[in-house]
Amino acid sequence: MPRGMPEVIATKQKFYRVANFPNVIGLIDGSHIPIAAPSLNEDIYVNRKNFHSLNIQAVCDANQIFLDFCNRYPGSTHDSFVWHNCRLYRRFQAGEFGGAHLLGDSGYPLEENLMTPIMQPGNRNQVNYNNSHKRTRVIVEQTFGLWKSRFRCLHKSGGNLCYTPQKCGKIVSATMLLHNYCVRRRIPLIGEDHGDEDPNNEDDPDDPDPQHEGIRNVPAARAKRQRIVQDYF
């Protein structure tokens, strides 16, 4: 994640140039990585698409670089649970990033440090907010597509990772670091390029988690989102 005010400002400016969404320092999403059925606790690895997976949370920047990831949760885990139990969430709660926020899809709760779409926009300003949010957040989907295209073992079309969940998590981490290396050095993909959105996307948003509906409706978060709508859209 950005360190120090100069990096934070530079990151916000890059995101703002995408679609005029203010104060963004990262895009968050989850992606399911297919694995072989584990011998222990097999059922908790079955996701809502009915295959065994790890639910990988990642945050990326405007240049499709992974800034942060969490790789230890099984496929049945809801995206919002992963978020509320990761180290990055605690860093935001401690105020490390000031008033900056992430952008997430509707599977995440609306929070002061995580802006989500407006589910039923009621005016042109809210529609503009949603459009800007979508145009900015799509970068994380494109990043997942590029990552899985470069490392086909991470995609269902390449089968699944036939190792323990712990080793699969290490493979995921290694490929993310290698992805960043390739993007920074502009190393091209070999063969077919699916660097836009994942052509066989298994990562559509989770339904909102009822356990976190209370967090979703925190008045301060709703007020912050409304200020963004009024001041920028």
Lowest mean per-residue pLDDT among 33-37, 147-151, 196-200: 196-200
Check whether 226 has a pLDDT greater than 50. Answer: yes
CA distance 83 to 108: 8
More confident residue, 18 or 198: 18
CA distance 57 to 28: 7
Average pLDDT, whole number, for the chain? 89
More confident residue, 205 or 121: 121
Structure confidence at residue 78 (pLDDT): 94
Check whether 200 has a pLDDT greater than 50. Answer: no
Region 84-101 average pLDDT: 94
Cβ neighbours of residue 72 closer than 8 Å, sequence gap 6 or more: 54, 169
pLDDT tier at 203, thresholds 50, 70, 90 = low
Structure confidence at residue 157 (pLDDT): 79
Structure confidence at residue 51 (pLDDT): 93
More confident residue, 186 or 158: 186
Tokens representing 90 are 């605690």
Structure confidence at residue 206 (pLDDT): 58
pLDDT digits (tens, 9 = 90+) for 107-148: 999 999 999 999 999 999 999 999 999 999 999 999 999 999
Structure confidence at residue 202 (pLDDT): 54
CA distance 24 to 67: 13
Region 156-165 average pLDDT: 86
Region 151-155 average pLDDT: 90
pLDDT tier at 156, thresholds 50, 70, 90 = confident
Check whether 196 has a pLDDT greater than 80. Answer: no
Q: What is the DSSP secondary-structure string of 167-197?
A: HHHHHHHHHHHHHHHHHHTTPPPSSS---SS
Structure confidence at residue 214 (pLDDT): 43
